[in-house]
Every structure is written in C-alpha cells, then in structure tokens.
Structure 1
Amino acid sequence: MKEVDQSVSLSLCADIAWVPLVQSLVEQGAPVFGLDQNKTLRLVMAVEEIVAHLANTAPGTRIQLNLKPGGWHVLADFAFTADPSELWAMTIAARSDTFVPEGMDHLGLLLASCMVDGFTVHLEGEVVHLALRQDLTYLPASPGKAKPVRQRGELAIDSSPEPALIKLACLRSLEFYPSFKLHQAFSMPGKAADMVAKGDLSMAVALDGVGALMGMICWHVSSDQSIGFFGPYVFAGGEKTASGLTDHLIHCIARTRAMGLFSELATDDLPMGAFESLGHFDLIQPKGKKLCREVWYRHLGEDMGASVWAHPSMVNFLEKCYDQQVLMRDIRQTDGLGERLPRRSVFSAILRPEAGEVTLLPMVTGEDAKECVALHVETLNRKNFSNIFFKLDLAHGWQASLGGVLMETGFKPRLVLPYGGKSDVVVFQHV
C-alpha cells in the first residue's frame, strides 16, 4: 500500500503578525505525528523564533513551511529567500558570540537550535532550506550482562526482522560491544525499530535453527551512490555468523545503484578479505586511551571516472589516495580569488558525546571561515570532544576551497570516501 502523505503546509510572508498561526499549526499538528507535549512545545518555540527572526532580518520574504512526519521524528521544513549567513547563531560555536551587542538580535536563533534535536541548512540557488528535526520520545535501553549463546542447527539470515527482534538485537549489541562501535539509535531500541520501519535504517539478523539470535548487521544510504554500514555484531557462531551477515549485506547492496560500500563503524568481526582499507583515524577515548579505527571499503561497480574540486594544498594528498584506490579523477583546483562571500559561515555538527566525537559539515562558507573553524575547535575542545572531524564534498568548489583553511587550523586530511556524497568526500581530522 502506498504511504499516505500526511504533511501539512503553510505559505506566508515574514511578518510577526503571523507567528500565532505558525504556533497553532505546529501545536496542533506535531502531536498527530507522535510528539509528546514537551517535545511539541519545544518545536513550537523553535519555529516561532525562526519566523520572528525572518520578520526582523528579511521582512516580507515568502516563507514556505512544511510540517512532516518522519516515523521517528517530526520535521519543520522551511524554504525562504534571505541571507543564509544570518543563521550563524544556530551553530554550536555561537553561544558566546550571541551575548555581544551584535549577537543580541540573534538570540532567538540560538534558542531555536537549543530547542530541537537537530537541524540542517542547504542552498538551492538563492533559496535557503532550513529543516528543524524533533525526535519522538523513546525509553533508553537497560542492557544486562552479556551471556554466551550456544548455536543449535543451521544459520539463517532474516532480512526483515520484526520490531521485537530488532529491539532484542540492539540490546544484545549493547551487551557485547562498547558504545563507540555502535549506531547511536541502539541505545533506544524503539527508535531503531521505527527507523527500520521508516526505511532510514536497514537491518538483517542471523538466527540459528531454533530461532535464537546469533548476530546483526545494519546499514543506511549515505548518498545516491554509497552505503554506510555498522557491524557485523556477533553474539554467537563466530566467523560463520560474521561471514553470513557480511555476504548478505553485499548481496543486498549489489542490487542497488550504489558504487561503494564503506564502514562507518565496522567491528573487529568484519571479514577483512572482502574489503580494502581507506585509511584510519586516531581516536582519543574518555580516559585518554588512544585507539586506531580503520575505515574499510568495497567498490561495487565499474568506475567511469569523475571530476572533483580541490584546494591546491589538498592536491598531493588526493593524487596519492586516487592512485592507491585506482580511481580516475580529474582534479580541478579552486581557491578564493577575492570573490564576494557571505559575511558569516554556518557549519552543522553531528555529535557522538558517548565517544567524544563530532563531525562538522559546511552549510555556508563566509568571509570568517578561518575564524569560524578555529572557534568551533575551541568550543568543542572545551566541551570535551577530543575527536573532531570535518567532511568536504568535492563535487562543490565552495566546499573544496575550505581545505586550505582546515589545514591552516590544525586539520589533516585522513582519507577519501569514493562517492561518499554527491561526489567523493574527503574526511579531515583535527590533530
């Protein structure tokens, strides 16, 4: 049965007089999509602040607001034409700047970013798309002590596990593996089950002859041409379980248009013979222990070559990576030549507090890019994020041009994810 589109839309001009209407839309609509009262009120406040900000900074501009159910979250999706750099106060490093005279007018944006569970910004021509995400409320897992399981009968792979089995697999993974090896949703098994039901996460489990859970692997679409996976998580059966789950994953992905399969969080149980190493990250754990995390990759189709952008300081690194991966790439150099840029930069942050990790993504590159990067690093270090990454999609010259700024502020290019975004993605780590 085709899924019914339950989203609701509102088109209005940026005027403070329309704030009550926007409040009413979210207050009445979000509970229909599953948000509880507290989460709904927080989303109402965030949406109100966005409209009020636009009424102040871009009065009269048209605003398209779509309220959408996401299965495990609710999205308030804005589209408008305005200066995107005005959204700088929503970034994680803006907390101190908002209390200077220039920043006081942007306190509403700071409040909006604090009220929601996440947000994204991207540009399509002159149109700014801002999406506020509010997750549904889920109970955290209470895993017990890992107990060994004895396999009985032949191993079988279930590619469509029921919700109860998904939740059990999450609990088992919490029992058998440290948190930095796990998808964040595993700590809330109900959320993971809803993500699978929505199609934002795929999962397969291994069962023995009597239906006992032997292991699990999961994956998600990282881009139109690449798949990121987690695992395999083995609870019993050793190499046979790991190989069965990995082979099933490769078989499923081979039927898609994806060009590459890479590990975001591969476990030590991954059969390495089926993958090649793209490089590694040096991770600092909460108690100061250092770990080496290898990133594994498998190419799935014939590479026809591509053109990518690169800052001149990145060219040697990219040429070495492409030579090792035997990928044909036309590297076009780009750097700032005095062209006009937005005054402020906007970066988003994907946080993993349990592992002290954060990944920064550029949304708007402004004149203050170097200062903004440095401020983000300072802020994140102060918040005990010891592992700071930055991803650039080389399909976009404006993103690639940030490479020089990143290397000047202590970042080092670590590896390239082929087809990790619209094109290849280079991953930097702050060292």
Structure 2
Amino acid sequence: MLSLRIPAEAAFIPTAMTFADTAARGLGLDDRSARTLMLATEEVAAYLCRIGLHGHAIAIECIGGGYFIEIRITLPVSHLQLRAFNLTARLDLNDETDLDQMGLLLASRMTDRFHITRSEAGHLILHLIKEYSYPEIADDQLEEIPATGDQFRVEVADPARIKWLARSVVRHYPSTHYPPSFRYPGKITDMVAAGACQVLVAVGPGGELLGGLAWQWIGDKTVELFGVYLLHHRHRPEIAGELLETCLNSIARTSALALLCRNPTEAVPDGYLEALTAPDVQPTALFRLLYEETGAVVWSHPELVDFLRKEYRRLFLPRDIQTVTDDGETREPHSVLSCEIDRHRRAATLRPLLPGTDCRDNLAEHLSLFAREQLQSIYLELDLGHAWQAVFVPAALQLGFVPRLILPHAGQADLVVFELVAGA
C-alpha cells in the first residue's frame, strides 16, 4: 500500500494526480486505466477543495489487489453530499451546487466499482476501484473436452486448469451458475493468485479435466460456493462429493462461520448443505453453518420483522431483532446506491451506500433505468448489521420488491436479498 497526505488546497491537486498515476502504474495497472484513475482522483480532490475544506488534510492511499487497483480517499468530514455517485444522477448545469457535483459524477463513471465506508473517527472514506483489462472468452475458444478412464483425483487448480475450468463451465452451464469472472479466464487466475478466490478441480488419470468448483469470501465471515461443476461425468456423484468434501475441509481451517451457495448446480450431492430458501422460492439456495450459532443482533424496519422472524425460526438461527423507527431525527436529503450489473444474465443488484429522505425516488429512478436497459432480474441487498439501511425497506416494498432470502453472516450481520417482482 502506498499513501499520501496533502492539504485540501488547489495547489496540491497535481500532487494527488501524480501520486495516483505513478502508484497505479507501479502496481501493475495499464497506462490507459492508470490515467483514468488519476483523473478520477483529480476530480474528487478538486471537489473537496471547492467546498471549502481549507485547513484540513486529505489522505490518499493506493492499494494493489492482484486484479484491481484501489484508490482510497479519506475525506476530513463526517457528512458530504455524494448523490452524484448514483448511476442515475443527472445534474443541472445552471445550478451552482450541481456544478460542484460534476467532478464526482465524472469520477464515478471513470471507475469500475466504488463504495463508501467510515473510518474509526467517523470520517467518510471513498473507495475508487479500477480493474485490470482482460480478454473475454470467445466462442471459438470453447472446445469440447474428451474424457477417458474412471479414476480421478481432486487437487488445487494451477493457472492452466483454472482457465480450462472457466472455459468449460461457460460452455456447459448457464450464466446463473457461475460468477461473471469465469468469462475472463485471466481475471479468475489473477483472483486466485491474489487470494480473492479458490478453485479445486477433479482430474482424470490422463490429466483430463472432469469437474471443479470455486469459492470466495463475502465479507469477513462467510464463503460463497460456485458449483459443483461436472463436465463429462455428471452421472458420477463420487466426483462431486470428493470436491465438496475437500472444499469444506479447507474452509473449516479458516475463520468462516458459514458457507453459502446461491445458485447451486444439480451436481451438489445431498447431505452436505441445507436449504437456505423456503420451499416455494426458486432458485433454491443452500448453506451450511461451520460453527454452532451463538446468536446476534440485527436491525430491521417494522415492516420486515414478520419475514425475519419466520425465516430465522425456519433456519434455527437465534437473532435479537431490534426495530428501527423514524423519531423525527434529521436525515440527509440524498441517498446513494451502488449498482452491479451483469449484462450476460440481464441482472442488476443494488446496495445502499448512504441513506437519505429520497430513498423511494432514488430506487424508482434506478428501476426506470433498468427497464430501459431491458434488465430482467433486479435485486436489492440490505445489511441487517447497519441500522440506517432499514430506511430503504418501505420504499422497496412499495416499488414491488419482495424479501426472498437471508444470507447469514454475509455482511456486517446477515444480508436480506429482495427481488423485484413484476406486477407487484
């Protein structure tokens, strides 16, 4: 990690730009992407100078993630108008306040991902992320794979077999059953090298690839499983069982509290994982608790309490549900949502970054955009570990979102996944 601390003065903006550009290139980002990240940093630094933070310091850090570069900017304030980071943001060029936000709008469009957190001192931290460029799998790369023999072994995948598995899974399975990174074999290989993902493969006696699975962390307490994938031996449950057993043994040596599989394949053997979704919810999600549940506190809007109580009873998860109400306290006017779009699946997932009194309007604007983009599967994830996220519940329900499942320990506490239901 490289770091820089500068005064919030216009004279130091070039210093911030040079730092972001040089650090990103030094950590492996290509020239074009590094320049984009540099310009995003410039816009944020300039905005902070324009709004009158003179006398304060801006901390900028550059972090290499193996397959991405992150610029982390600690803002010397606890509250700031950041509505320009919404995907649907539209600014009035005749409004001086909106003109101040223009730099933030540009910065948000220059990066691949961003999120907002708070420091221990309560200051806002802006995370700007730019991923390395990787070629996507081409149709002519998806060749059929011959399979011979009945014996097999399960092993940690080397880079060549990681890419082989990714190409094979994209060919044999629908996009709902694998992460988007599988469409970029170089990316998933770098993710494994950086420790952001793990891949196991089943290999035949001649070295042929028979199947595999992958998993990655969601937050600090939960692991998400992708698979199990069987290629030419889908009738052999012993391969799937050995893959899953090896995966569980590996995860059991970590600090993970739960294993989740939101889109399991039909190859997942019985007896290893339990149903996470109710019987009438499709597609089925599975999970397994890796340690005995000792309970936790979660925060909920009153309109969501009945769903939570029912699901927690069904899943035998002890939770202390604390309700969040509006007692007239002052609230920020504008909310901020992050948006992850998967165009292959025609799906989008929204996650709150900041609350505001415009929650319903903000959600509605995003839904209008998704309708124009012809996205068919729309989800909203709320973290029950953050009381402020409860403000989004009434707006979500009014706009047709329905709570579908709880993901234990997948955030600060549990996550609730809402799905937009047509005609609701």
Which AA in structure 1 matches 2:147?
A: R
Paired position in structure 2 for 1:287: none
Check if 1:179 corresponds to 2:169: no
Runs of 4+ in 1 over 3 A off after TM superposition: 97-100, 143-146
Output aligned runs, 1:103-182, within 5 Å: 103-124=98-119, 125-143=121-139, 144-145=141-142, 147=144, 149-159=146-156, 161-182=157-178
Q: Which structure dedicates a bigger proportion of its chain to strand?
A: 1
User: How far does residue 330 in structure 1 lie from its aligned partner after superposition?
Assistant: 1.4
Aligned residues: 415
TM-score scaled to structure 2, two decimals? 0.93
5+ residue gaps, structure 1:
1-6, 283-290
Conserved 8 A contact 1:85-1:364: no
Deviation larger for 199-208 or 244-253: 244-253
| Distance across 2 between alignment mates of 1:363 and 1:58 | 24
1:41 aligns with 2:51: no
Identify the match of residue 253 of structure 1 among 238, 251, 257: 251
Q: What corresponds to 2:221 in structure 1?
A: 225
Percentage of identical aligned residues: 30
Cα contact 2:302–2:325 (8 A) shared by 1: yes
Residue identity matched to 2:374: N
2:13 to 10, 19, 22: 19
In the TM superposition, what whole-angstrom CA distance separates every residue of 1:136-164 from its partner, at most 9, and x where no partner exists?
Answer: 121222244552532425211112x2211
Instruction: Return the offset for 1:280.
Output: 7.1
Alpha-carbon distance in structure 2 between the residues aligned to 1:86 and 1:401 = 18
Give the deviation of 1:309 after TM superposition. Answer: 1.2
- Give, in whole Å, the separation in 2 of the partners of 1:65 and 1:145: 43
Match for residue 82 of structure 2 among 76, 82, 87: 87
Q: Which residue in the other structure is 2:415 paired with?
A: 425
**TM value normalised by structure 1:** 0.91
Matches of 1:34 and 1:420 in 2, distance apart?
A: 30
Q: Which of 187, 203, 206 lines up with 2:202 in the alignment?
A: 206
Between the aligned partners of 1:256 and 1:151, the Cα distance in structure 2 is: 35
Q: Structure 1 residues 146, 106: closer, same or farther in 2, change over 3 A?
A: same
1:319 to 301, 309, 316: 309
**C-alpha distance in 2 between matches for 1:396 and 1:145:** 43
Once the two structures are superposed, residues 31-83 of structure 1 have per-residue CA deviations (whole angstroms, 9 ceiling, x without a partner) of 21111121111111111101011111242232100111111111111111235
- Equivalent in 2, 8, 17 of residue 2 of structure 2: 8
Q: What's the counterpart of residue 233 of structure 2?
A: 237
Q: 8 Å contact 2:142–2:167 — kept in the other structure?
A: no
The residue identity in structure 1 corresponding to 2:122 is E
The alignment partner of 2:60 has SS state of strand
Residue type of the alignment partner of 2:149: R
Instruction: Using the TM superposition, name which of 299-308 and 318-327 deviates more.
Output: 299-308
Q: Secondary structure at the match of 2:81?
A: helix
Match of 2:385 among 388, 395, 398: 395
State the distance in 1 between where 2:373 and 2:28 align.
32
Structure 1 vs Structure 2 CA RMSD? 2.0
Indicate the SS of the match to 1:279: coil
